[in-house]
Structure 1
Amino acid sequence: MKRLACFLAAALACGAAFAKQPTALFYLMSSQKSTNSFTAHIDKIGLLVPTWYQVDGQGLVNGSPDRYVLDLAKQHRLPVTPIVSMSAGRNGFHVLLHDETAKQHMIASMLQQAAEQGYAGYQFDFESISWTDRDAYTLLVKQTAEALHKHGLTLSIAVVPNGPGYAGEGAFSKWMWQYWRGAYDVAALAHYADLICLMTYDQHTRWTTPGPVDGMPWVLDQLKYASKLVPKNKLSLGIALYGYRWYTGNPVRDDGSEASNISATYIDADESIPLSQEQKASVQWDAVEHESWYYFYRDGMREWVFMPDAHSFRDRYALVKQYDLQGFCAWVLGAEDPKVWDELPVAER
């Protein structure tokens, strides 16, 4: 713990020494709250990645930009690289990966939209992929990157952190490797793509027991592992702006059967901060995980809230500067503690 504290202190102390400003990549959802945050803080955003497009198993890309957001970004010379995600689930993505015609349809549509809308490039955010499709996904990235590069466009890849590089011990870890972590050949993806966004969040989720969204020891482990495979000028550290709230759910299922039900939901700062006040909860700072949390009781049972805030953001931003990374990728605009913006400079354009 002492070594971690010293490391973070050094990162905070030397951050100003780096000449290059880390790229502040922020994700944007199609919600009014997300758009409001974007418009209020556009000058501190270095790269905008909106969730505008999806592709199905036949390579059909659907989606469109938010005209207001795109026009405002152009006025501020803010580059936009929309996400392309999967609309047909794991099986549909498998079909796409093994259909050369479908892949070419997808790439052609991406090029058409980029030319019409003035995008700087795209980000692939394909998740829940079978580990057996690892090489096929790498090939898709290679083909897409080569096509985009010919037109002066970039391709970034969002990857689920997969250190230490194998499935691990427990059944949950095995499942995570089979369908979440194992599909990313990070070194190969970094060779073809322009940027790797390491999604160092969702350490604990709705699928797990309560815990930090992105505990610092885990983030450090994942960052150190990825740093061995990805050049630092191509690596962006994921930072969570949202939290989770865990509670006891309904034990009666839709089919009438009964089972234990530990449930959780996303909770943004505009909900988690007022909730702590309403419940008169004592917000705690975990000096090991570098994340805030609290609990309260409802119906005699404890509910847990883990809430990344400006303090946790500051410590992770320090890591970006300490490792001299390309930047950070923060999910998602509208979820953040408003004080996060006090930690960032005006973006260089």
Structure 2
Amino acid sequence: MKRFVCLIAALFACSSVLAKQPDALFYLMGSQKSVQSFETHVDKIGLLVPTWYGVDNQGLVNGAPNLYVLNIARQHGLPVEPIISMSAGRNGFHQLLHDETAKQQMIASMLQQASEYRYAGFQFDFESISWTDRDAYTLLVKQTAEALHKHGLKLSIAVVPNAPGHAGEGRFSKWMWQYWRGVYDLAALGKYADLICLMTYDQHTRWTTPGPVDGLPWMLSQLKYALTLVPKEKLSLGIALYGYHWYTGDPVRDDGTEASNIKADYIDADESIPLAQQQQATVQWDSVEHESWYYFYRDDMREWVFMPDAHSFRDRYALVKQYDLEGFCSWVLGAEDPKVWDELPIVQR
């Protein structure tokens, strides 16, 4: 009997070890600090998504890998799925979507680059798209996914969260639906793509008043909505690693006219933490939003900083595990609080 109990305990311990950890997808930019973060923490990254490629309205794909990064990824058995983004603006992307020759040119270039550099696939990160191109974008995803799958490659999609599924009450919400949220048919995209990266960040931005980058209640509502349309096995929760710094900008425009100018700049942990110390600001924890923030005065005017840190990351990572999601996707390497890495295990490859 004692041996039986020990055997059961061993089996439970084994299953705990073998239980799949959420996949840790991290985005990589070309900056030195982004590359340095990747190199230092490569063993805790499950999928690398670098910003290496763009495409124009004629389907011409331009870009190239950072071979130093690519070689490190290969040495560690780390899959790489570069981003394809739009290099010709909203109108250019509209042209691409409605040009079959251009789309096939883009897909052919993706296949060629994947073969040459042994990528695991690609991620579409197309944003600022008119909602009227919803069906055309879904068709592009379908065509691309089918072509990539024939060659054993994957396609993931970065999407702007769009709960409750329609334009809201205010003018800003209407604008967001028209050009940011409305184009993503989550149910259809989840059917064709291998992974949906839900960009649950930028709740507040340079377009808005100060507020959390990705407040937990807002994130949770967006996640619950997405789960009604996308299987959890295909859903990756976006977790911001950067913050925003709001302040009053120059009211005089380039043309000499004057207008209100509330500015918000990206601010990474290597800037936001020292800034709080230099300004003798008290970093506060919002127990509702689960995000750190502080303010200080310059020229007698208040400036605000909202800064996702290791504490906020831990709470969002717990959400990924609670809902048994495929994983999380974090923008961007180099922006993070260094203590974030203490929350993540070594990836078993």
Question: Which residue of the partner structure matches residue 97 of structure 1?
Answer: 97
Which letter maps to 1:140?
Answer: L
- Residues in 2 aligned to 1:339 and 1:72: alpha-carbon distance in whole angstroms: 23
Question: Which residue of the partner structure matches residue 136 of structure 1?
Answer: 136
* Residues 21 and 348, structure 1, Cα contact 8 Å, conserved in 2: no
- Residues in 2 aligned to 1:140 and 1:284: alpha-carbon distance in whole angstroms: 45
- Residues in 1 aligned to 2:192 and 2:80: alpha-carbon distance in whole angstroms: 20
**Structure 1 residues 90-140: Cα deviation after superposition (integer angstroms, max 9, x where no partner):** 000000000000000000000000000000000000000000000000000
Distance apart, 1:17 and its partner CA: 9.5
Q: What pairs with 1:9-158 in structure 2 (closer than 5 Å)?
A: 19-158=19-158
- Summarize the Cα distance change of 1:147–1:299 in structure 2 as closer, same or farther, 3 Å threshold: same
- Residues in 2 aligned to 1:256 and 1:168: alpha-carbon distance in whole angstroms: 35
- Residues in 2 aligned to 1:54 and 1:260: alpha-carbon distance in whole angstroms: 34
- Residues in 1 aligned to 2:17 and 2:138: alpha-carbon distance in whole angstroms: 36
Secondary structure, aligned partner of 1:190: helix
Q: Which has the higher contact order (CA 8 A, sep 6+)?
A: 1
Q: Which runs of 4+ in 1 moved over 2 A?
A: none
- Residues in 2 aligned to 1:153 and 1:324: alpha-carbon distance in whole angstroms: 24
Question: Which residue of the partner structure matches residue 289 of structure 2?
Answer: 289
Q: Does 1:249 find its partner at 2:249?
A: yes
Structure 2: give runs of 5+ residues left out of the alignment.
Answer: 1-15
- Residues in 2 aligned to 1:259 and 1:157: alpha-carbon distance in whole angstroms: 38
Structure 1: give runs of 5+ residues left out of the alignment.
Answer: 1-15
Question: Which residue of the partner structure matches residue 348 of structure 2?
Answer: 348
Which letter maps to 2:193?
Answer: A
Question: Which residue of the partner structure matches residue 13 of structure 1?
Answer: none
- Residues in 1 aligned to 2:247 and 2:331: alpha-carbon distance in whole angstroms: 23
Question: TM-score normalised to the size of structure 2?
Answer: 0.95
Q: What pairs with 1:318-329 in structure 2 (closer than 5 Å)?
A: 318-329=318-329
- Residues in 2 aligned to 1:108 and 1:348: alpha-carbon distance in whole angstroms: 33
Which letter maps to 2:153?
Answer: L
Question: Which residue of the partner structure matches residue 171 of structure 2?
Answer: 171
- Summarize the Cα distance change of 1:299–1:164 in structure 2 as closer, same or farther, 3 Å threshold: same
Secondary structure, aligned partner of 2:296: strand
- Residues in 2 aligned to 1:178 and 1:254: alpha-carbon distance in whole angstroms: 28
- Residues in 2 aligned to 1:81 and 1:251: alpha-carbon distance in whole angstroms: 42
Secondary structure, aligned partner of 1:270: helix
Secondary structure, aligned partner of 1:156: strand
Question: TM-score normalised to the size of structure 1?
Answer: 0.95
Question: Which residue of the partner structure matches residue 183 of structure 2?
Answer: 183
Secondary structure, aligned partner of 1:222: helix
Distance apart, 1:325 and its partner CA: 0.2
- Residues in 1 aligned to 2:229 and 2:335: alpha-carbon distance in whole angstroms: 31
Secondary structure, aligned partner of 1:41: helix
* Residues 134 and 182, structure 1, Cα contact 8 Å, conserved in 2: yes
Distance apart, 1:19 and its partner CA: 1.6
Q: How many residues align?
A: 334
* Residues 18 and 321, structure 1, Cα contact 8 Å, conserved in 2: no
Question: Which residue of the partner structure matches residue 227 of structure 1?
Answer: 227
**Larger Rg belongs to:** 2
- Residues in 2 aligned to 1:18 and 1:247: alpha-carbon distance in whole angstroms: 48
Percent of paired sites with the same residue: 83
Q: Does 1:218 find its partner at 2:192?
A: no
* Residues 53 and 63, structure 1, Cα contact 8 Å, conserved in 2: yes
Distance apart, 1:348 and its partner CA: 2.0
* Residues 18 and 324, structure 1, Cα contact 8 Å, conserved in 2: no
